[in-house]
Amino acid sequence: MTNLCTSTLSLENPSGIETYLSQDGYSAWKEIISKQIPKSEVIKKIKDSGLKGKGGAGFSTGLKWSFINSSEQQKYLVCNSDESEPGTCKDRDILRYNPHAVIEGMLIASYAIGASVGYNYLRGEFIGDQWIVFNKAVNEAYKYNFIGKNILNSNLCIDIVPLIGAGAYIVGEETAMLESIEGKRGMPRIKPPFPAVQGLYGKPTIINNTETLATVPYIIKNGSEWYKSLGINDSDGVKMFCMSGHLNKPSVIEAPLGVPFSKLLNECDGVLDNKKLKAVIPGGSSVPVVKGEDIMEISMDYEPLMKIGTMLGSGGIIVMDESTCMVSVLERISRFYYAESCGQCTPCREGTGWLYKTLVKIRSGNGDQSDLDLLNKVANQIEGHCICALGDAAAMPVISFLKHFWTEFEYYVDKKQSMVI
Protein backbone atom coordinates (compact mmCIF):
# COMPACT_ATOMS: atom_id res chain seq x y z
CA MET A 1 0.00 0.00 0.00
CA THR A 2 1.03 3.65 -0.49
CA ASN A 3 2.48 5.77 2.30
CA LEU A 4 2.03 9.56 2.24
CA CYS A 5 0.12 10.65 5.33
CA THR A 6 1.35 7.48 7.05
CA SER A 7 4.99 7.82 5.92
CA THR A 8 6.36 8.44 9.44
CA LEU A 9 4.26 5.78 11.16
CA SER A 10 6.95 3.10 11.46
CA LEU A 11 9.75 5.49 12.44
CA GLU A 12 11.11 6.25 15.88
CA ASN A 13 9.52 9.41 17.31
CA PRO A 14 7.20 9.72 14.27
CA SER A 15 5.70 13.06 15.33
CA GLY A 16 9.00 14.87 15.92
CA ILE A 17 10.29 17.56 13.58
CA GLU A 18 13.70 15.90 13.21
CA THR A 19 11.97 12.75 11.96
CA TYR A 20 9.90 14.76 9.49
CA LEU A 21 12.96 16.65 8.26
CA SER A 22 14.79 13.35 7.74
CA GLN A 23 11.97 12.39 5.35
CA ASP A 24 12.50 15.57 3.31
CA GLY A 25 9.83 17.33 5.32
CA TYR A 26 9.31 21.08 4.81
CA SER A 27 11.28 20.88 1.56
CA ALA A 28 8.20 21.87 -0.45
CA TRP A 29 7.63 24.84 1.83
CA LYS A 30 11.26 25.90 1.68
CA GLU A 31 11.22 25.68 -2.12
CA ILE A 32 8.12 27.87 -2.36
CA ILE A 33 9.76 30.44 -0.09
CA SER A 34 13.21 30.43 -1.69
CA LYS A 35 11.97 30.49 -5.30
CA GLN A 36 9.02 32.77 -4.56
CA ILE A 37 6.78 30.47 -6.57
CA PRO A 38 3.66 32.40 -7.65
CA LYS A 39 0.50 31.59 -5.71
CA SER A 40 -1.34 30.83 -8.95
CA GLU A 41 1.27 28.21 -9.82
CA VAL A 42 0.81 26.47 -6.46
CA ILE A 43 -2.97 26.41 -6.93
CA LYS A 44 -2.59 25.09 -10.48
CA LYS A 45 -0.36 22.24 -9.34
CA ILE A 46 -2.90 21.17 -6.73
CA LYS A 47 -5.75 21.50 -9.23
CA ASP A 48 -3.89 19.50 -11.89
CA SER A 49 -3.13 16.72 -9.38
CA GLY A 50 -6.81 15.85 -9.06
CA LEU A 51 -6.62 16.13 -5.27
CA LYS A 52 -10.12 16.09 -3.83
CA GLY A 53 -11.31 16.91 -0.34
CA LYS A 54 -10.86 13.81 1.82
CA GLY A 55 -13.31 14.75 4.55
CA GLY A 56 -16.38 13.55 2.67
CA ALA A 57 -17.46 16.01 -0.02
CA GLY A 58 -14.80 15.05 -2.57
CA PHE A 59 -14.62 18.56 -4.07
CA SER A 60 -11.54 19.62 -6.06
CA THR A 61 -9.07 21.18 -3.60
CA GLY A 62 -7.31 23.35 -6.16
CA LEU A 63 -10.60 24.63 -7.54
CA LYS A 64 -11.74 25.47 -4.02
CA TRP A 65 -8.56 27.49 -3.41
CA SER A 66 -9.07 29.37 -6.67
CA PHE A 67 -12.38 30.78 -5.41
CA ILE A 68 -10.46 33.13 -3.10
CA ASN A 69 -10.03 36.59 -4.60
CA SER A 70 -6.57 38.10 -5.00
CA SER A 71 -7.23 41.27 -3.00
CA GLU A 72 -4.99 42.28 -0.11
CA GLN A 73 -7.72 41.95 2.53
CA GLN A 74 -7.42 39.61 5.52
CA LYS A 75 -8.00 35.93 4.68
CA TYR A 76 -8.06 32.78 6.77
CA LEU A 77 -7.38 29.06 6.40
CA VAL A 78 -9.13 26.52 8.61
CA CYS A 79 -8.06 22.89 8.93
CA ASN A 80 -11.06 20.75 9.84
CA SER A 81 -9.79 18.19 12.35
CA ASP A 82 -13.21 17.75 13.93
CA GLU A 83 -13.29 14.10 12.92
CA SER A 84 -16.64 12.95 14.29
CA GLU A 85 -18.23 10.78 11.58
CA PRO A 86 -18.95 7.31 13.04
CA GLY A 87 -16.66 4.79 11.39
CA THR A 88 -13.95 7.35 10.63
CA CYS A 89 -10.62 7.25 12.49
CA LYS A 90 -7.89 8.46 10.11
CA ASP A 91 -7.29 12.13 10.95
CA ARG A 92 -6.57 11.30 14.57
CA ASP A 93 -3.67 9.11 13.44
CA ILE A 94 -2.29 11.79 11.11
CA LEU A 95 -2.39 14.31 13.95
CA ARG A 96 -0.73 11.83 16.29
CA TYR A 97 1.96 10.44 13.98
CA ASN A 98 2.51 12.95 11.17
CA PRO A 99 1.49 16.39 12.48
CA HIS A 100 4.21 18.25 10.57
CA ALA A 101 2.70 17.17 7.24
CA VAL A 102 -0.53 18.86 8.36
CA ILE A 103 1.38 21.99 9.37
CA GLU A 104 3.34 22.14 6.12
CA GLY A 105 0.13 21.62 4.16
CA MET A 106 -1.54 24.42 6.12
CA LEU A 107 1.39 26.74 5.40
CA ILE A 108 1.31 25.98 1.66
CA ALA A 109 -2.46 26.43 1.51
CA SER A 110 -2.27 29.69 3.49
CA TYR A 111 0.40 30.98 1.12
CA ALA A 112 -1.62 29.99 -1.95
CA ILE A 113 -4.79 31.79 -0.85
CA GLY A 114 -3.02 34.74 0.80
CA ALA A 115 -4.02 33.91 4.39
CA SER A 116 -1.94 35.16 7.29
CA VAL A 117 -3.53 32.88 9.90
CA GLY A 118 -4.39 29.19 9.78
CA TYR A 119 -6.56 27.58 12.46
CA ASN A 120 -6.60 23.84 13.13
CA TYR A 121 -9.87 22.95 14.84
CA LEU A 122 -9.59 19.59 16.63
CA ARG A 123 -12.61 17.73 17.98
CA GLY A 124 -13.11 17.93 21.73
CA GLU A 125 -12.35 14.24 22.21
CA PHE A 126 -8.84 14.86 20.83
CA ILE A 127 -7.87 16.69 24.03
CA GLY A 128 -5.43 13.85 24.75
CA ASP A 129 -2.68 12.65 22.40
CA GLN A 130 -3.72 14.55 19.29
CA TRP A 131 -3.97 17.94 21.01
CA ILE A 132 -0.70 17.49 22.89
CA VAL A 133 1.25 16.17 19.89
CA PHE A 134 -0.05 18.79 17.46
CA ASN A 135 0.69 21.67 19.84
CA LYS A 136 4.21 20.36 20.36
CA ALA A 137 4.70 20.11 16.59
CA VAL A 138 3.49 23.71 16.10
CA ASN A 139 5.96 24.92 18.72
CA GLU A 140 8.78 23.01 16.98
CA ALA A 141 7.88 24.57 13.63
CA TYR A 142 7.92 28.04 15.21
CA LYS A 143 11.42 27.38 16.60
CA TYR A 144 12.63 26.42 13.11
CA ASN A 145 11.01 29.59 11.75
CA PHE A 146 8.78 27.63 9.37
CA ILE A 147 5.87 29.49 11.00
CA GLY A 148 5.61 33.00 12.37
CA LYS A 149 7.08 36.33 11.39
CA ASN A 150 9.63 36.79 8.62
CA ILE A 151 9.54 33.08 7.76
CA LEU A 152 13.01 31.94 6.63
CA ASN A 153 13.96 35.62 6.12
CA SER A 154 11.28 36.05 3.45
CA ASN A 155 9.20 38.84 5.07
CA LEU A 156 6.27 36.39 4.91
CA CYS A 157 4.21 36.07 8.08
CA ILE A 158 1.83 33.15 8.73
CA ASP A 159 0.64 31.95 12.13
CA ILE A 160 -0.81 28.50 12.88
CA VAL A 161 -3.28 28.37 15.79
CA PRO A 162 -4.58 25.06 17.24
CA LEU A 163 -8.09 25.13 18.71
CA ILE A 164 -10.06 22.45 20.54
CA GLY A 165 -13.81 21.89 20.19
CA ALA A 166 -16.37 20.78 22.76
CA GLY A 167 -17.54 17.48 21.28
CA ALA A 168 -20.36 18.53 18.93
CA TYR A 169 -20.71 16.55 15.69
CA ILE A 170 -22.44 19.46 13.94
CA VAL A 171 -19.28 21.59 14.18
CA GLY A 172 -17.72 19.36 11.54
CA GLU A 173 -19.93 21.29 9.09
CA GLU A 174 -17.66 24.04 7.83
CA THR A 175 -19.80 27.09 8.59
CA ALA A 176 -20.77 25.75 12.04
CA MET A 177 -17.04 25.43 12.68
CA LEU A 178 -16.54 29.08 11.76
CA GLU A 179 -19.28 30.04 14.21
CA SER A 180 -17.56 28.02 16.93
CA ILE A 181 -14.17 29.61 16.25
CA GLU A 182 -15.83 33.01 16.59
CA GLY A 183 -17.04 31.98 20.06
CA LYS A 184 -20.66 31.39 19.10
CA ARG A 185 -22.85 28.32 19.27
CA GLY A 186 -21.81 25.95 16.48
CA MET A 187 -24.74 26.16 14.07
CA PRO A 188 -24.51 26.04 10.26
CA ARG A 189 -24.93 29.25 8.30
CA ILE A 190 -27.22 29.73 5.33
CA LYS A 191 -25.25 29.69 2.06
CA PRO A 192 -24.63 31.79 0.03
CA PRO A 193 -22.50 33.63 0.95
CA PHE A 194 -19.97 30.82 0.89
CA PRO A 195 -16.89 30.89 3.17
CA ALA A 196 -14.55 31.70 0.27
CA VAL A 197 -16.41 35.01 -0.02
CA GLN A 198 -17.53 35.66 3.55
CA GLY A 199 -16.17 33.21 6.09
CA LEU A 200 -14.39 33.57 9.43
CA TYR A 201 -15.04 37.01 10.94
CA GLY A 202 -16.67 37.93 7.64
CA LYS A 203 -13.43 37.49 5.68
CA PRO A 204 -12.62 35.10 2.79
CA THR A 205 -11.85 31.66 4.24
CA ILE A 206 -10.93 28.21 2.95
CA ILE A 207 -11.73 25.12 5.02
CA ASN A 208 -9.91 21.86 4.22
CA ASN A 209 -9.81 18.46 5.89
CA THR A 210 -6.76 17.21 7.83
CA GLU A 211 -5.92 14.41 5.40
CA THR A 212 -6.33 16.75 2.43
CA LEU A 213 -3.85 19.27 3.81
CA ALA A 214 -1.38 16.58 4.92
CA THR A 215 -1.29 15.36 1.30
CA VAL A 216 -0.46 18.80 -0.17
CA PRO A 217 3.32 18.86 0.61
CA TYR A 218 3.86 15.55 -1.19
CA ILE A 219 2.16 16.89 -4.33
CA ILE A 220 4.16 20.13 -4.34
CA LYS A 221 7.37 18.16 -3.81
CA ASN A 222 6.77 15.39 -6.37
CA GLY A 223 4.41 16.96 -8.91
CA SER A 224 0.83 16.64 -10.11
CA GLU A 225 1.43 13.77 -12.51
CA TRP A 226 3.24 11.77 -9.84
CA TYR A 227 0.26 12.06 -7.50
CA LYS A 228 -2.25 11.18 -10.20
CA SER A 229 -0.18 8.10 -11.11
CA LEU A 230 -0.61 6.68 -7.61
CA GLY A 231 -4.27 5.93 -8.32
CA ILE A 232 -5.55 2.83 -10.11
CA ASN A 233 -6.99 3.06 -13.63
CA ASP A 234 -8.88 6.39 -13.91
CA SER A 235 -8.52 7.28 -10.22
CA ASP A 236 -6.16 10.01 -9.00
CA GLY A 237 -3.99 9.69 -5.90
CA VAL A 238 -4.50 7.91 -2.60
CA LYS A 239 -6.94 7.77 0.29
CA MET A 240 -6.93 6.57 3.88
CA PHE A 241 -9.59 3.92 4.49
CA CYS A 242 -10.82 3.20 8.02
CA MET A 243 -11.78 -0.47 8.15
CA SER A 244 -13.98 -1.31 11.14
CA GLY A 245 -16.77 -3.66 12.14
CA HIS A 246 -16.76 -7.43 11.73
CA LEU A 247 -13.15 -7.87 10.62
CA ASN A 248 -10.37 -10.13 11.79
CA LYS A 249 -7.95 -7.20 11.76
CA PRO A 250 -9.62 -3.74 11.83
CA SER A 251 -7.17 -1.28 10.27
CA VAL A 252 -6.54 2.17 8.88
CA ILE A 253 -5.11 1.63 5.41
CA GLU A 254 -3.63 4.23 3.06
CA ALA A 255 -4.21 2.86 -0.43
CA PRO A 256 -4.55 4.02 -4.05
CA LEU A 257 -7.94 5.41 -4.99
CA GLY A 258 -9.60 2.81 -7.17
CA VAL A 259 -8.40 -0.13 -5.09
CA PRO A 260 -11.01 -2.95 -5.14
CA PHE A 261 -12.96 -3.34 -1.91
CA SER A 262 -12.01 -7.02 -1.90
CA LYS A 263 -8.33 -6.09 -1.59
CA LEU A 264 -8.99 -3.85 1.41
CA LEU A 265 -10.97 -6.68 2.98
CA ASN A 266 -8.06 -9.06 2.41
CA GLU A 267 -5.69 -6.57 4.08
CA CYS A 268 -7.87 -6.98 7.17
CA ASP A 269 -7.67 -10.78 6.95
CA GLY A 270 -11.30 -11.03 5.87
CA VAL A 271 -14.63 -11.03 7.69
CA LEU A 272 -14.49 -11.92 11.39
CA ASP A 273 -14.45 -15.68 12.05
CA ASN A 274 -14.88 -16.29 8.30
CA LYS A 275 -18.57 -15.47 8.41
CA LYS A 276 -20.45 -14.31 5.31
CA LEU A 277 -20.29 -10.62 4.40
CA LYS A 278 -23.78 -9.13 4.69
CA ALA A 279 -23.50 -5.36 4.26
CA VAL A 280 -21.03 -2.49 4.01
CA ILE A 281 -21.28 1.21 4.75
CA PRO A 282 -18.35 2.55 2.66
CA GLY A 283 -17.98 6.17 3.74
CA GLY A 284 -18.97 6.70 7.36
CA SER A 285 -22.40 6.12 8.92
CA SER A 286 -24.07 8.91 6.92
CA VAL A 287 -23.75 7.29 3.48
CA PRO A 288 -26.11 4.66 2.04
CA VAL A 289 -25.52 1.03 2.97
CA VAL A 290 -25.01 -1.58 0.24
CA LYS A 291 -25.22 -5.37 0.21
CA GLY A 292 -21.95 -7.22 0.60
CA GLU A 293 -22.17 -8.97 -2.76
CA ASP A 294 -22.68 -5.65 -4.55
CA ILE A 295 -19.41 -4.08 -3.39
CA MET A 296 -16.84 -6.88 -3.43
CA GLU A 297 -15.24 -5.99 -6.77
CA ILE A 298 -16.14 -2.30 -6.81
CA SER A 299 -13.27 0.18 -7.11
CA MET A 300 -13.12 2.39 -4.03
CA ASP A 301 -13.47 5.80 -5.64
CA TYR A 302 -16.17 8.43 -5.94
CA GLU A 303 -17.74 7.52 -9.30
CA PRO A 304 -17.81 3.68 -9.02
CA LEU A 305 -19.50 3.88 -5.62
CA MET A 306 -22.06 6.37 -6.90
CA LYS A 307 -23.00 3.85 -9.60
CA ILE A 308 -24.10 1.35 -6.94
CA GLY A 309 -26.04 3.99 -5.02
CA THR A 310 -23.62 5.00 -2.30
CA MET A 311 -20.64 7.31 -1.67
CA LEU A 312 -16.97 7.22 -0.69
CA GLY A 313 -17.59 9.90 1.95
CA SER A 314 -14.84 10.02 4.56
CA GLY A 315 -13.57 6.52 3.72
CA GLY A 316 -14.96 5.11 6.97
CA ILE A 317 -15.80 1.54 5.89
CA ILE A 318 -18.10 -0.31 8.30
CA VAL A 319 -18.28 -4.06 7.62
CA MET A 320 -21.23 -6.16 8.82
CA ASP A 321 -21.44 -9.96 8.78
CA GLU A 322 -24.41 -12.31 8.49
CA SER A 323 -25.16 -12.14 12.23
CA THR A 324 -25.99 -8.42 12.05
CA CYS A 325 -29.53 -7.26 12.76
CA MET A 326 -30.03 -4.38 10.31
CA VAL A 327 -32.97 -3.02 12.28
CA SER A 328 -30.75 -2.70 15.35
CA VAL A 329 -27.95 -1.04 13.37
CA LEU A 330 -30.30 1.53 11.85
CA GLU A 331 -31.80 2.31 15.25
CA ARG A 332 -28.32 3.03 16.61
CA ILE A 333 -27.39 5.23 13.62
CA SER A 334 -30.67 7.16 13.90
CA ARG A 335 -30.14 7.73 17.60
CA PHE A 336 -26.78 9.37 16.82
CA TYR A 337 -28.18 11.87 14.32
CA TYR A 338 -31.19 12.62 16.52
CA ALA A 339 -28.83 13.44 19.40
CA GLU A 340 -26.44 15.49 17.23
CA SER A 341 -28.97 17.65 15.35
CA CYS A 342 -28.47 21.29 16.29
CA GLY A 343 -32.23 21.89 16.05
CA GLN A 344 -32.00 24.86 13.69
CA CYS A 345 -34.02 23.33 10.81
CA THR A 346 -37.51 21.97 11.43
CA PRO A 347 -37.20 18.99 9.04
CA CYS A 348 -34.02 17.84 10.79
CA ARG A 349 -35.01 18.73 14.34
CA GLU A 350 -38.41 17.03 14.14
CA GLY A 351 -37.63 14.43 11.49
CA THR A 352 -34.63 12.85 13.23
CA GLY A 353 -36.79 12.43 16.33
CA TRP A 354 -39.54 10.74 14.34
CA LEU A 355 -37.04 8.39 12.69
CA TYR A 356 -35.41 7.35 15.95
CA LYS A 357 -38.66 6.99 17.94
CA THR A 358 -40.28 4.96 15.17
CA LEU A 359 -37.29 2.60 15.09
CA VAL A 360 -37.43 2.27 18.88
CA LYS A 361 -41.11 1.35 18.53
CA ILE A 362 -40.28 -1.32 15.93
CA ARG A 363 -37.38 -2.71 17.98
CA SER A 364 -39.54 -2.93 21.10
CA GLY A 365 -42.00 -5.16 19.23
CA ASN A 366 -44.78 -2.59 18.85
CA GLY A 367 -44.28 -1.67 15.20
CA ASP A 368 -46.40 -2.48 12.17
CA GLN A 369 -46.30 -2.06 8.40
CA SER A 370 -47.39 1.57 8.62
CA ASP A 371 -44.25 2.39 10.61
CA LEU A 372 -42.04 1.21 7.75
CA ASP A 373 -43.96 3.46 5.38
CA LEU A 374 -43.63 6.30 7.88
CA LEU A 375 -39.85 5.85 8.03
CA ASN A 376 -39.60 6.19 4.26
CA LYS A 377 -41.93 9.17 4.18
CA VAL A 378 -40.14 11.10 6.94
CA ALA A 379 -36.67 10.38 5.53
CA ASN A 380 -37.70 11.66 2.11
CA GLN A 381 -39.16 14.81 3.66
CA ILE A 382 -35.88 15.50 5.48
CA GLU A 383 -33.48 14.85 2.58
CA GLY A 384 -32.60 18.01 0.69
CA HIS A 385 -34.67 20.29 2.93
CA CYS A 386 -32.13 21.41 5.53
CA ILE A 387 -29.48 24.14 5.82
CA CYS A 388 -26.65 21.63 6.14
CA ALA A 389 -26.00 17.98 5.30
CA LEU A 390 -26.85 16.54 8.72
CA GLY A 391 -30.45 16.05 7.65
CA ASP A 392 -29.29 14.11 4.59
CA ALA A 393 -26.91 12.14 6.83
CA ALA A 394 -29.86 11.04 8.96
CA ALA A 395 -32.15 10.31 6.00
CA MET A 396 -29.87 8.42 3.60
CA PRO A 397 -29.17 5.47 5.93
CA VAL A 398 -32.89 5.01 6.56
CA ILE A 399 -33.78 5.05 2.86
CA SER A 400 -30.96 2.67 1.91
CA PHE A 401 -31.46 0.22 4.80
CA LEU A 402 -35.14 -0.10 3.90
CA LYS A 403 -34.34 -0.43 0.20
CA HIS A 404 -31.79 -3.22 0.56
CA PHE A 405 -33.11 -5.02 3.65
CA TRP A 406 -36.88 -4.46 3.43
CA THR A 407 -37.60 -8.15 4.06
CA GLU A 408 -35.70 -8.02 7.35
CA PHE A 409 -37.63 -4.94 8.53
CA GLU A 410 -40.93 -6.48 7.43
CA TYR A 411 -40.06 -9.66 9.34
CA TYR A 412 -39.37 -7.60 12.48
CA VAL A 413 -42.77 -5.86 12.45
CA ASP A 414 -44.59 -9.12 11.65
CA LYS A 415 -42.78 -11.49 14.05
CA LYS A 416 -41.78 -8.91 16.69
CA GLN A 417 -38.20 -10.18 16.67
CA SER A 418 -35.07 -10.06 14.56
CA MET A 419 -34.64 -12.33 11.57
CA VAL A 420 -31.06 -13.15 12.59
CA ILE A 421 -31.76 -14.34 16.14
- 183-236 confidence digits (pLDDT tens): 999 999 999 999 999 999 999 999 999 999 999 999 999 999 999 999 998 899
| 216 and 246 share one domain | no
The Cα–Cα gap between 331 and 209 comes to: 29
The Cα–Cα gap between 392 and 283 comes to: 14
Question: In the predicted model, what is the mean pLDDT of the chain?
Answer: 96
Q: What is the CATH number of the domain that holds 248?
A: 3.10.20.600
1 has pLDDT over 70? no
Domain span at residue 257?
Answer: 238-321
CA Rg value for the chain: 22
pTM more than 0.85: yes
The Cα–Cα gap between 247 and 319 comes to: 7
* Largest distance between two CA atoms of the chain: 74
The Cα–Cα gap between 216 and 45 comes to: 10
| 317 and 330 share one domain | no
| 273 and 350 share one domain | no
Band (pLDDT 50/70/90 cuts) for residue 73 is confident
| 62 and 199 share one domain | yes
Q: Is residue 7 part of a domain?
A: no
| 206 and 335 share one domain | no
Band (pLDDT 50/70/90 cuts) for residue 57 is confident
How many domains is the chain built from?
A: 3
Band (pLDDT 50/70/90 cuts) for residue 70 is confident
What average pLDDT does this structure show over 393-408?
A: 97
Instruction: Give exposure, 239-261, as e/b (b: 16+ Cβ within 10 Å).
Output: bbbbbbbbbeebebbbbbbbbbb
